[in-house]
Homo-oligomer: A and B are copies of this chain.
């Protein structure tokens, strides 16, 4: 079983169809699968439902797929860092389903773990709870949320090996590990492919069982809010 592919276009071959659901890892522009998003754009696949916490910016990340109108619907917790998104949404061209961020994370985790539904207190008494089943546990009210799966998950890790084992770096981990478990097929891009046995098996974040295809990408890693402090004495 060869999991390592030569490039991003090759990893997506045979996996794409119009109207499919794709999960994309990342938080803001941090830890997003930059190369696979570009390959999705170039593939021309359309009418996508994209599950991703955010929607990128105008010229980077998922914003690129908005610009080309390949996305029909976003399932996200926080968006609108880009004008094209705003325009499409306000004109009714783009559907949008908001989820509380923790609910979205848990829905992906549940989908990957074979859990079709779970109860949470998050959103009780708000718009989010409308139309959802309410249930009492120990005197408190909770709402039912459902597990999410995707036809394809695209994730970004720091390093990977030929078995598909992945490790993430710092806060670039975010949604990537759960989304890796919730794709019928999961494709990962990494900054470095390391020889098998390089990882301490106690430290692997995503076991290779969840990853069907893997590439080494080139990562711009754009920063959204460059925030610094000054040294007192330069």
Q: Within the assembled complex, what's the spacing in Å between the Cα atoms of A168 and B204?
A: 13
Partner of A117, one of B118, B146, B170, B173: B118
- In angstroms, how far is the closest chain B Cβ from the Cβ of A166? 12
- In angstroms, how far is the closest chain B Cβ from the Cβ of A25? 16
Q: Within the assembled complex, what's the spacing in Å between the Cα atoms of A113 and B110?
A: 12
A106 with B116: in contact, given A167-B202, A170-B202, A202-B168 (CB under 8 Å)? no
CB neighbors of B among A120-159 (8 A):
120-121, 135, 137-138, 140, 142, 146
Asked whether A110 lies within 8 Å of B118 as measured between CB atoms, the reply is yes
- In angstroms, how far is the closest chain B Cβ from the Cβ of A133? 9
Bitwise interface map of A from 31 to 50 toward B, beta carbon under 8 Å scored 1, else 0: 00000000000000000000
Interface check A115, CB cutoff 8 A: yes
Interface check A78, CB cutoff 8 A: no
Asked whether B121 lies within 8 Å of A118 as measured between CB atoms, the reply is no
- In angstroms, how far is the closest chain B Cβ from the Cβ of A145? 10
Interface check A203, CB cutoff 8 A: yes
Interface check A89, CB cutoff 8 A: no
Interface check A114, CB cutoff 8 A: yes
- In angstroms, how far is the closest chain B Cβ from the Cβ of A175? 16
Interface check A60, CB cutoff 8 A: no
Q: Which residue of chain B has its CB nearest to the CB of A204? A: B203
Asked whether A115 lies within 8 Å of B118 as measured between CB atoms, the reply is yes
Interface check A169, CB cutoff 8 A: yes
Asked whether A202 lies within 8 Å of B120 as measured between CB atoms, the reply is no
24 A–B contact pairs at CB < 8 A? Answer: A106-B113, A106-B115, A110-B118, A114-B120, A115-B118, A115-B119, A115-B120, A116-B137, A116-B138, A116-B140, A116-B142, A117-B118, A117-B119, A117-B135, A117-B137, A118-B118, A118-B119, A168-B202, A170-B201, A170-B202, A200-B203, A202-B203, A202-B205, A203-B203
Cβ-closest 4 pairs across A and B: A116-B137, A118-B118, A203-B203, A117-B119
